[in-house]
Amino acid sequence: MRVILDFLRLIRINNILMIAITQVFAYYFLNPTIEFYSIFERNFIFLIISTSLVASAGYIINDYMDVKLDLINKPNKVIVGKSISRRWTMLLHFACTIIALGLAYSISKKVMLAVFFSSCLLWIYSQFLKKTYLSGNILVSLLTANTLLILFFFDKNVLSNGIIVYAIFAFMLSLIREIIKDTEDLRGDQQFKSKTLPIVLGVRKTKNVLLWLQTILIILSFANMSFFGALSYSSDKIYLMFFMYQLILVLIPMGIMWWLIKLADTKRDFSRLSFIAKLIMLSGIISMIFWRF
């Protein structure tokens, strides 16, 4: 039982569930031409499983490569080499990747190529880019956005407005969260001579970068609220509900997060910011509901 729980922790099951929910919500709520039964069709279920398995493989190889680093940054959360051996970790990584590619190929060659490309980028990230200056953060953020963009490869009838809006939102928030996590892991990264943004620029300047990125995200989110009527397929009554939802559960929390970034100083402060970013992302995903009605 403990091995199963540790495996679920290894693949970040909460993040995997968020990926699945994001794709279901985006495919149905951001596309008025899609019927409800479409989310239960074989190919779409295969797409969700394939995307989730690639992400799981990415988390597995990431932990495999970072065992020594994680023993410093988060010693109580290390799984590789303890409850799951290094050999089994690699076998799980290859199994997830191969199954993901097989399922993607059964959908179409385009989807398979998109999944294969994502898998390769995750490997490159874990091997070479994770602790580099900003490039690793940008790559992970692009892969997060690709969770939505892959829908264009899956179904040529998918409409673009909502998916592009939320892909930009996912990219920006993921980039902010990745930089926050690097700042949180500063002590361990310094010992391994990493070149992350907080190590190269220092914490104070990194906070300034985060504040600018958060400001841009707030402006983009406000623009999304303002032009929702033109972008979506909803009525004026729904627009008012969407505006209030975004204001209370997305925009105001972003403002609070901006202030907490300004005040952040300790590892605990940045851990809290990472958690808040994840909650805002979840609120953003739920807001897709308003686009269809």
pTM of the predicted structure, to 2 decimals? 0.92
| pLDDT at 283 > cutoff 70 | yes
| Residue 140 resides in a domain | no
Q: Does 198 lie in the same domain as 96? A: no
pLDDT at 233: 64
Q: Does 91 lie in the same domain as 46? A: yes
| Residue 134 resides in a domain | no
| Residue 146 resides in a domain | no
- Contact (Cβ atoms closer than 8 angstroms) between residue 29 and residue 292: yes
pLDDT at 231: 63
Here the CATH number for the domain that contains residue 267 is 1.20.120
pLDDT band, very low/low/confident/very high, at 263 (cuts 50, 70, 90): very high
| Residue 137 resides in a domain | no
Angle at 228 between CA 212 and CA 275, to 5 degrees: 45
Core vs surface per residue 113-135: b (16+ CB within 10 A) or e = ebbbebbebbbebbeebbbbebe
Q: Does 272 lie in the same domain as 214? A: yes
Range of the domain at 72: 1-127
Give the other-Cβ count within 10 Å of 77's Cβ: 11
Average pLDDT over residues 107-123: 93
Q: Domain count of the chain?
A: 2
Q: Does 109 lie in the same domain as 5? A: yes
Q: Does 289 lie in the same domain as 164? A: yes
| pLDDT at 77 > cutoff 80 | no
